[in-house]
Structure 1
Amino acid sequence: MSLKTRYELPARAADTRQLGEMTGAACAVETASIIEQHDGPVILVTRDMQNALRLRDEIRQFTALPAETLADWETLPYDSFSPHQEIISNRLSTLYRLPTLEKGALILPVNTLMQKVCPPEFLTSHALVMAKGEKLSRDKLREELVQGGYRSVEQVLEHGEFAIRGALLDLFPMGSELPFRIDFFDDEIDSLRTFDVDTQRTLDEVNAINLLPAHEFPTDKDAIE
């Protein structure tokens, strides 16, 4: 009795090109050319995260098309500590923008390529836009932040943290370069400003912020089951 084949290799999608003996920025120049000629996003796999970041920076010198990286967790299986919040933030930001990447490059180390990621609809359905003038219950917002994986602290210092002091809400959203200070008037957002983590002083005023969840996967009871 013959055995049926359960898994088959996919058909080759395109011709194979081998490039070698490229030194200096030659690899980035050729890669940028491929990205511009290809109709759609290109995935580039590197040996490690250090090479991914270097290649990204070099490619950006030769093309205006987006070149994004998806960071490695930098933890080993069964480690007793979690990845750094900045790594989680960078991953969430990239994964959130990835569905809209019509042309450009996604650069990631081979370890990251082998890991599962969240479905695109999870981030899009759990993202929250907060705009100036919007009416929003602070108690409900606090509950949503906790459910989304954000941590309540005395002073906001890193991604995924928030602090409530009277009518002020300090918040460092995942995927954001700077934290925000939100001033409420009753249940209405009166102002939104960025602030400096070190000095805690406000910087520039903005009209709206995009709030991503603090985890790549849902952590509620239904999701765990």
Structure 2
Amino acid sequence: MVVAGEEAAERFARQLLAYLPHEAVLRYPERADLPWADTAPDPAVVGARARALWSLAKGREAVVVASARALLRRVPPRDAQAFEPLTLAAGAALDLSAATERLARMGYERVDAAEEPAQFAVRGGVLDVFAAGETAPVRAELFGDEIETLRRYLPSTGQTLADAPPTEVYPCREVVLGTRAVGNVERALGDSPDTDETLAHDLERMRAGVYFNGVERYLPLMYREPGAPTDYVHPSALVVVAEPRSLFDDAVRATEAVAAAAKATDLAAPVGAPKVRTAGLFLTPAQLDLGGARRRLTFLSLMRAGGSVDAELQVRRPDVAGGPERLAGALRALLDAARDVGLNAEDL
């Protein structure tokens, strides 16, 4: 479901929760941090986006609500499997060493005690993970290579609480510093790091698999063609768009804001610093594919499309405003005049 603006998307998702289970309504929120900025990403936002993309790719029974502007930021291509979660469940097998390495590749920070989102800790046969997008961490206690118990715990005290259901741990970064991706960056940069200390330092950290704020500025160099969020939509999914013109306007405003932020960054940068390039980091409004060959349902207001109401009959209470006979007579007159009549009645 694509609507215009983040506020509308959040409001629509909350309304859906009145009818659907919590796990069946997913948000794909807009990220406030920019790919080239030194601002740390919000793990809750990145985790929610990763969950939504993975659910769309797998064709899960869920409604994903997004604003048009949230769909502009490019992501790794679908075949990169960048958003595959690590699943923890009581009774399931888990190679602790492999899980530790995988969490690091997913952008998680290893600490002594996992008290904040996007952190994990290992103590003997115990794995603590505070997953991106979750409200509480989980503790997996292993017996050999099997998770004996999986429980939630209080980050402040470490006290375990109730048993946790199977938990999917999603990445907290939207790039994967794999060998191939980093190699592509290295080849694309060529000799530039030899004369640019910032590039040299960034490349060194990427080779070591160390994530840093601003690493996503190299996304266009990691893949032959960066992906779009809509690439993850399953072929069987129904794409619902509300007011296409409003969606385009929302995307245009977001694009203008990104361009202004890039210009401000360039103005504040030292003399001789490379210019910020938004190409490859964001789609243009014209590139936003809302449906394509997939099934699509469009909600369109005639008023927004330039139409107008040429006849209107307001009867709040027929029993007071002349009785049902008068209402029926008015409707018959409209029909006899070849009018199209639409009735809007609540609580029927």
Per the TM superposition, whether the score is higher than 0.5 is: yes
Report the residue type matching 1:165 in the other structure. R
Unaligned runs of 5+ in 1: 1-42
Match of 1:185 among 143, 148, 154: 143
How has the CA–CA distance of structure 1 residues 77 and 92 changed in structure 2, closer, same or farther, with 3 Å as cutoff?
A: closer
Aligned CA distance change for structure 1 residues 115 and 170 (closer, same or farther; 3 Å) = same
What is the aligned partner in structure 1 of residue 10 from structure 2? 53
The alpha-carbon distance between structure 1 residues 193 and 104, as it changes in their structure 2 partners (threshold 3 A), is closer
Q: Which digits, 9 at most, give the CA deviation of each residue in 1:4-32, with x for residues without a partner?
A: xxxxxxxxxxxxxxxxxxxxxxxxxxxxx
2:39 matches 1:81? yes
Query: Which residue does 1:219 correspond to in 2?
Result: 177
Secondary structure of the structure 2 residue equivalent to 1:157: coil
**Are the counterparts in 1 of residues 89 and 167 from structure 2 also a CA contact under 8 Å?**
yes
Q: Which structure's relative contact order is higher, taking Cα pairs within 8 Å and 6+ residues apart?
A: 2
1:209 maps onto 2:182 in alignment: no
* In 2: Cα distance, 1:95 partner to 1:132 partner: 25
Q: Mark the CA change 1:103 to 1:130 in structure 2 (over 3 Å): closer, same or farther.
A: closer
Which one has a larger percent strand, Structure 1 or Structure 2? 1
Q: For residues 46 and 68 of structure 1, do their structure 2 counterparts lie closer, same or farther at Cα, with a shift above 3 Å needed?
A: farther
Shift, 1:106, TM fit: 3.2
Cα pair distance change 1:64/1:188, threshold 3 Å: closer
Larger radius of gyration: 2
**1:77 positional shift:** 5.3
Query: What is the DSSP-based 3-state SS (H/G/I as helix, E as strand, rest coil) of the residue aligned with 2:53?
Result: helix
- Asked whether the equivalents of residues 90 and 166 of structure 2 are also in contact (C-alpha less than 8 Å), the reply is yes
Give 3-state SS (helix, strand or coil) of 2:103's partner: helix
Q: What corresponds to 1:109 in structure 2? A: 67
Q: In the alignment, is the contact (CA less than 8 A) between 2:120 and 2:130 conserved in 1? A: yes
2:42 aligned with 1:71, yes or no?
no
Superposition pairs for residues 133-144 of structure 1, below 5 Å?
Answer: 133-144=91-102
Quote how far apart the aligned CAs of 1:72 are: 0.9
Which secondary structure state, in structure 1, belongs to the residue aligned with residue 56 of structure 2? helix
Distance (Å, rounded) in 2 between the aligned partners of 1:134 and 1:76? 38
Instruction: Give the direction of change, closer, same or farther, for the CA distance of 1:51–1:44 in structure 2 (3 Å limit).
Output: same
Structure with higher helix content:
2
Q: CA deviation at 1:204?
A: 1.7
Equivalent in the alignment of 2:51: 93
Does the Cα contact within 8 Å between 2:83 and 2:171 map onto a contact in 1? no
Q: Paired residues, what number?
A: 181
Q: Percent identity?
A: 24
The letter of the residue matching 1:57 is R
Q: CA RMSD in A?
A: 2.9
- Please say which of residues 83-92 and 99-108 is displaced more in the overlay: 99-108
Query: 2:47 and 2:95 mapped to 1: Cα distance?
Result: 26
Report the equivalent of 1:167: 125
Could you tell me which runs of 5 or more consecutive residues in structure 2 were left unpaired when the two chains were aligned: 185-348
CA apart distance, 1:70:
0.8
Deviates more, 1:186-195 or 1:101-110: 101-110
Instruction: Report the TM-score, using the length of structure 1 for normalisation.
Output: 0.66
